[in-house]
Amino acid sequence: MNHEAIRKRVIQGVRRVVVKLGSSVVTTEKGLDRVAIRNIVEDICRCKDEGMEFIIVSSGAVAAGVRRIKLKGGAKTIPQKQAAAAIGQTRLMAAYEEAFEARGAKVGQMLLTRDDLAYRPRYLNARNTLTTLLSWGVVPIINENDTVVVEEIQFGDNDNLSALVATLAEADLLIALTDMEGLMDCDPRTNPAACLIPLVEEITPLVRSLAAGSPSAVGRGGMQSKLDAASKAGLSGIPTIIARGKVPGVISKIMDGDVCGTLILPAKERISSRKHWIRYNIEPEGTLTIDDGAVRAVLGHGKSLLPIGVTAVTGHFEHGAAVYIEGSGGRRVAMGLCNYSSEEMDKIKGRQTAEIHWVLGYRRNDEAVHVDNMVLVEIDEAEESGK
């Protein structure tokens, strides 16, 4: 099957779409690009009129704020970036609301932090909010809460957020709109003969090497971060299309199955929504080092981790916290939710399950980490090492 047929097959049946708009799409050197925003909104509304649902993850708040107050040299410090985001976010939402209002559509704002997605009840609440907004015909517009979250400004990007939102919303497709045509076979900034790669069936180290380069002047992401996002979304069975955002009617073209941008197919081996949440939303608080027998049981046979296989406990954590699971030599093989605290694990490590009650005076679970609350990370880390 050729790439055109594959694209049409993927697009067929898509109903819920997450559209990520980069700063280079929604801003110019003078501030917000209201023409581009209006064009994209018009495009979304045309598809929405045909029964589709859209969620927007939009960058541009910091860039819009910087240009609004004419901050020479841009926002350099964390307080400056936070203040610029506070100024720019209101203008960004006003631009979207005005554009959607002109088409008789309504929007709702959601500002998320890592904690909102890491804490399971809040994660589920966010999903319920999204579902309710969509059921009302409202278009959710999501951004990171850059005004208060230092870590997100320093290390996060909306490509990552868009992948997490796509999984959260159980979307059928993630569209990442940027200032590039898509993934190219070489760097178009240095080689005018660069050609678009219309289809990526698997994100290999070779594919990642084609994405090498620095992000745009106004954004925090880049093609590498878009591949990371596609990889994360793909583990939930969600395909990704990376395309130029200022191409007229780009979303309609994509939804018509036209060859527009790069289509990245989802992973062949997928993980459950819960395991995806564990892998990408929770920050591990400690590490369990395990023996070779336990490594084989976890990696080779898909078994739960029992206390007898644990040789060392690092970090301080309560029961229910996320932990890394490592073999000898620091080889990371998995992460998961630990059924015991670090203090409890230190007492029962290397013990038979039947001894847990004798050591602690109670037995909360037979397993240190149950397989249903564990996700393998060795494959992910191998992919990342090939960047």
| pLDDT tens readout for residues 200-210 | 999 998 898 88
Q: Which of 17-21, 222-226, 357-361 has the lowest mean pLDDT?
A: 222-226
Q: How confident is the model at residue 308 (pLDDT cuts 50, 70, 90)?
A: very high
Q: Which of 13, 29, 101, 36 is nearest to 66 (CA)?
A: 29
CA distance between the termini of the chain? 29
pLDDT on residue 115: 83
Is residue 214 scored above 60 in pLDDT?
A: no
- Degrees, nearest 5: CA angle 53-166-247: 65
pTM above 0.85, yes or no: yes
Is residue 192 scored above 90 in pLDDT?
A: no
| pLDDT tens readout for residues 152-169 | 444 367 899 999 999 999
CA distances, 160 to each of 89, 144, 152, 233 (Å): 19, 10, 11, 9
| pLDDT tens readout for residues 43-68 | 999 999 999 999 999 988 888 888 88
| pLDDT tens readout for residues 262-303 | 999 999 888 999 999 999 999 999 999 999 999 999 998 999
Q: Which of 202, 163, 197, 114 is nearest to 379 (CA)?
A: 202
For the chain, list the domains and their CATH numbers.
3-270 (3.40.1160.10), 284-384 (2.30.130.10)
Is residue 1 scored above 90 in pLDDT?
A: no
Is residue 190 scored above 90 in pLDDT?
A: no
User: Burial letters for 122-144: b for 16+ Cβ neighbours within 10 Å, e otherwise?
Assistant: ebeebbeebeebbeeebbbbbbb
- Answer yes or no: are the C-beta atoms of 216 and 253 closer than 8 Å: no
